[in-house]
Structure 1
Amino acid sequence: MNADIDVLVLRVFTGPDGRYGNPLGVLRDGHSVPDQASRQAVARRLGFSETVFVDDPEHGRVDIYSPGARLPFAGHPLVGTAWLLGLEAFDLPVGSVTARHEPEFTWITARPEWAPPRTLRQYSSPDEIDALTVPEPGEWIYAWAWQHEAAGRIRARAFPGRGDGIDEDEATGAAALLLTHRLGRALEITQGRGSQILTRPGADGVIEIGGRVRMEAPSER
């Protein structure tokens, strides 16, 4: 594997002003890093919460890695990659994911059972969420509180607890998916420093996850 690889860096789930969002690394030529061990090493070196290797854009086949593991599903990588490539579907190990595009938002469909376990911990106010400090490595915690319950607005922060250098995840589609499933309603989540995630329950247990995506910069890493 070459030391330098071409990586596109996106910010997924940005706020209304285009700031914040969770950084995502995308290798459009996934075949440039052909095996799982090398891909895991690249994801660890890049240090994003997730990195996507695009293997077959025509059929929506992608391979997703955190710095420490290969992931069968993850929300923000799929929203970002759908936006980047204009994809309408993904073929994943967990099943088929559809995508749709609006002028401002990109949406994917997903099922809550695809998301890995998360501890959804409710607090009484957004101020309590803002005051939280990063816990010791351990369980994966999604801390949340109502900003405006009637309107479905939530304040959240995410602490992966993995000990892999990602102390706090700026925006996490899988955790938003689980919270939407638990509450059974559409949500507008402000996470991290100011990222925004939208969710909508659909038919047959499917949930839509949507957000804005911005290109950061192409780079060699």
Structure 2
Amino acid sequence: MGTPESDSTQLEVVRVFTDTAGRFGNPLGIARAADVTGVDHQALAARAGYSETVVVEEPAADRATVRIYTPAVELPFAGHPTVGTAWWLAMLGKPVAVLDVPAGPVEVSPLTDGVTWIRARYEWAPKFEFHEFSDLAELATLDPADFPEGQHYAWGWNDEARGTVRTRMFAPAMGIAEDEATGAAAIALTAQLQRGVYITQGQGSQLYTEWDSDGWVRLGGRVIADHPVVI
């Protein structure tokens, strides 16, 4: 898989879709493109071990180009990497209006009440097999071993009238046994339901969605900085 090791590449790490107290959230590794010239990005993501690692070009004209990697594959689009990257760039004083990913232009809204919002097409999301559970206690008993292959999003209503949902995601095909918070799956579920939802996933991560129109979905969440790592 190309270069087996890098020369002490530093990744910035943020946690995406935390709760209001800054707990939980899905770690995202962020590499500046200039720092990983000549490095195998896929091998880098595999060593990092996060559900996704991104390589970000220097912003220009309110846009930045981003490539997204799981430990096993490159993705044309994913939610937690785009929300996390948008927040990270804003914190660097380099806010962008668009993140260009292979799937297309992801629109970024200014930070609102501590929440970073992006807007994307639902068909950009990876294909998931959806499993609806009427009993959330049963949902809680699921184990990654129950899903030896494929990409699965298990969900159930916590309160359908209020649009609150409990979810879990398992994607061995992406090299992810279980994901703490999955923005692309949240977008796909929102499109399926054609309504915005408030999702609690994993240990307690929180995701917000809004159904827009013509296949567009807004995805939002809170992000905080974690410690950088060298791999």
| TM category, shorter | over 0.9
Residues of 1 paired with 2:102 and 2:154: CA distance?
28
Count of equivalent residues: 218
Instruction: Write the deviation string for residues 150-209 of structure 1: whole angstroms up to 9, x where unpaired.
Output: 000000000112273x21000000100110000010100000000001000113321000
Supply the AA of the counterpart residue of 2:162: A
Q: 2:103 aligns with which of 77, 81, 94?
A: 94
Corresponding position of 2:85: 81
Instruction: Provide the rounded CA distance (Å) in 2 between the counterparts of 1:163 and 1:174.
Output: 13
CA distance in 2, matches of 1:128, 1:171: 19
Farther off after superposition, 85-94 or 147-156: 85-94
TM-score (norm 1): 0.94
TM-score, normalized by length of structure 2? 0.90
Measured in 2, the distance between the counterparts of 1:163 and 1:112 equals 19
Moved over 6 A (4+): none
RMSD: 1.4
Q: 1:99 offset after TM fit, Å?
A: 0.7
Task: Give the Å deviation of 1:96.
Answer: 1.1
Aligned amino acid, residue 37 of structure 2: P
What is the DSSP-based 3-state SS (H/G/I as helix, E as strand, rest coil) of the residue aligned with 1:56? coil
- Aligned with 2:20: secondary structure? coil
- Cα distance in 2 for residues equivalent to 1:136 and 1:173: 20
Deviation at 1:133, TM superposition (A): 1.4
Give the superposition deviation at 1:136. 3.8
Residue 160 (structure 1) aligned to one of 166, 171, 196: 171
Correspondences of 1:1-221 after superposition (within 5 Å):
2-27=6-31, 29-35=32-38, 38-58=40-60, 59-86=63-90, 87-100=96-109, 101-134=111-144, 135-162=146-173, 164=175, 166-221=176-231
